[in-house]
A and B are shown apart, each in its own frame.
Chain A
Amino acid sequence: MTELVNPEDPAAGLAAVVALRRLADRLEDSQVERAMRAGWSWSEVAEVLGVTRQAVHKKHARRLVAAGVALRRR
């Protein structure tokens, strides 16, 4: 068990990279959803994430529409 959390072990360090990506993906999906449910615009979400409005729209719009989130136009 200890080897799983050994920071000297590249296997553990590389697994941490994968784990962080999973965490970032999960947080992005859940927090974009939360913001849009709270009435944020795509532009506002995009500005905080530091990406274009088009990018965040392309990545999340279909999922949120299917989830029944009422989306603002801008």
Chain B
Amino acid sequence: MPDHTDVRAILVRAARAEARRDGSRTIEAEHVLLAVAALEDSAAARLLADAGLTESAIRTPLNREWEQSLAVAGIAVRTGLLPEATPDRARDPQIGESTKLVLRRAMDAPPKLGGGRFGPMRILVGLLDTDRGRVARALRAAGVDRTALRAKAAEALAAGTR
């Protein structure tokens, strides 16, 4: 991938495919996380993989978070046993609020954003920048130290990794 390429377009496409597969009408932060983890040859995906968070491994704690949150409402569901629905391949999920927050946080992360320098590591920092929402809760369910992971991502970003 040439240096000047803005990976936002690639990420949004992959995240949109994740949202579609998930039956979601919006692209949420968890879909962006899966898209980052699936980015081959990216330092951000490697950082996630080092924490045990490969694309396929992330789905397990996301489902665990779903089950645990349903349990708060007194509902015991094995999400893996839920009936599947055929995904709508023509559906065009729009950017959800949690993704807008990810992008805003990514944009605000130092170093100051120059032209065409928006890469996966910056998005990863944006993803890890909150202790609320499905991503943070899933990471907790996976036993991942989100704060430490965020520090590593921010350090890599500050050192020039995109």
Q: Which residues of A contact B (CB under 8 A)?
A: 1, 4-7, 11-13, 15-16, 18-20, 22-23, 25-27, 29-31, 33-34, 62-64, 66-67
Contacts and interface: CB of A to CB of B under 8 A. Distances in A.
Nearest to B68: A4
Interface of B: 23-25, 65-66, 68-73, 75, 77, 82-91, 132, 134, 137, 140-141
Nearest to A7: B72
A7 B88 CA distance: 35
The winner among B69, B75, B137 for most chain A CB atoms within 10 A is B69
A31 B137 CA distance: 28
Contacts of A12: 69, 72
Nearest to B134: A18
Contacts of B68: 4-5
A23 B87 CA distance: 15
B132 A20 contact: no
A4 B65 contact: yes
Contacts of A18: 69, 134
Given A16-B72, A20-B73, A33 B86 contact: yes
A26 B88 contact: no
